[in-house]
Amino acid sequence: MSVAAVDVSLIATFHRESYLAGWTLDNLSDLRREADAVGISHELICMLDKADDETAEIVRDHVGLRKQDQVVHVDCGDAGLNRNEGVARARGEFVATFDGDDYFSRNWLSAAYRVLAAGSRARVVLPAYLVSFGAESHVYEIPDQEKVVVPEEALLTIHPWISTAFIAKRVLEQWPYQSTRVEETGFAYEDWHWNLEMVAHGYKFVTAPGTARYYRRQADSLLTRATKGQGIIRPNALFRRRPNERSNAKPNL
């Protein structure tokens, strides 16, 4: 078994965020300093997916970038495929994913690392709260499957988790994201799909106490576009299970 070069690979995706990308990178620098303080080694991989020149320049020139970090130009045009590209370049034992215009509480990396390192790798760690701001302002306590029951039947009509996660890299290698390209295929919500695949294969979604993702709600977000485009998640292993197959799945780690 190969030994990871760093503990955590931060994979951040950028498109056309412009100056917001700079703010997010400032926030990531805060997270990284906190991780440094507790001895967690890490790298940052900035995925510029069809990014405009201005965003690319802001990312490339950010003062928080370190020597081992990577800035990668890709032409995926798809959130899932873009993340897979990032994972392929990651050298960490764990991967933490980020979007290019959000914020996280600065203890996120250290808290998530503590949760995952202390127990089974067959878990996906999420922040304890999703705090939406901007076009809408909500506080949402993300359900932790080790504390509350999330009925599998409810997952047909509701997605209780989020797209950014902290997880063992080998899990993402085993279960890569699927492409969506809603305009072409009618499929959307790669995160909802991936999360359900995880549930189907026996993984648990847990939260790191005292952490939050601060999610910028814009009037024309990807989510809004998916809704306008009448997107739906791809066929999914969870929905192809019979009653007697439920809750018996064991992750193959």
**Of positions 46, 95, 155, 198, contacts another protein by CB under 8 A:** 155
Per CB under 8 A, the segment of 49-57, 76-84, 86-94, 149-157 that binds another protein is: 149-157
**Would you say 245 and 162 are in contact if contact means Cβ atoms under 8 Å apart?**
no
Task: Name which of 66 and 138 has its Cβ closer to another protein.
Answer: 138
**Of positions 18, 140, 176, 251, contacts another protein by CB under 8 A:** 140
**Would you say 113 and 7 are in contact if contact means Cβ atoms under 8 Å apart?**
yes
**Of positions 80, 86, 100, 231, contacts another protein by CB under 8 A:** 231
In Å, how far from its chain's centre is CA 125? 10
Instruction: Give the interface size with another protein as a residue count (CB under 8 A).
Output: 47
What token pair was written down for 131?
A: 């705090």
Q: Enumerate the β-bridge partners of residue 96.
A: 10, 166
Q: Nearest distance from residue 187's CB to another protein, in Å?
A: 5
Please tell me whether residue 138 binds another protein under the rule CB under 8 A: yes
Interface of this chain with another protein, residues 104 to 133, rule: CB under 8 A: 105-106, 129, 131-133
DSSP 71-94: EEEE---SHHHHHHHHHHH--EEE
DSSP structural state of residue 22: H
- Residues 4-43, one symbol each (x = binds another protein by CB under 8 A, - = not), give ------------------xx--xx--x-------------
Q: Give 8: exposed, middle or buried? Use CB within 10 Å, 0-12, 13-18, 19+.
A: buried
**Of positions 50, 152, 175, 221, contacts another protein by CB under 8 A:** 152
Q: At what angle do helices 190-200 and 79-89 cross, to 10 degrees?
A: 60
**Would you say 95 and 88 are in contact if contact means Cβ atoms under 8 Å apart?**
no
Give the footprint of another protein on this chain (CB under 8 A). 22-23, 26-27, 30, 103, 105-106, 129, 131-133, 136-141, 143, 150-158, 160, 184-187, 210, 212, 214, 230-232, 234-236, 239-243
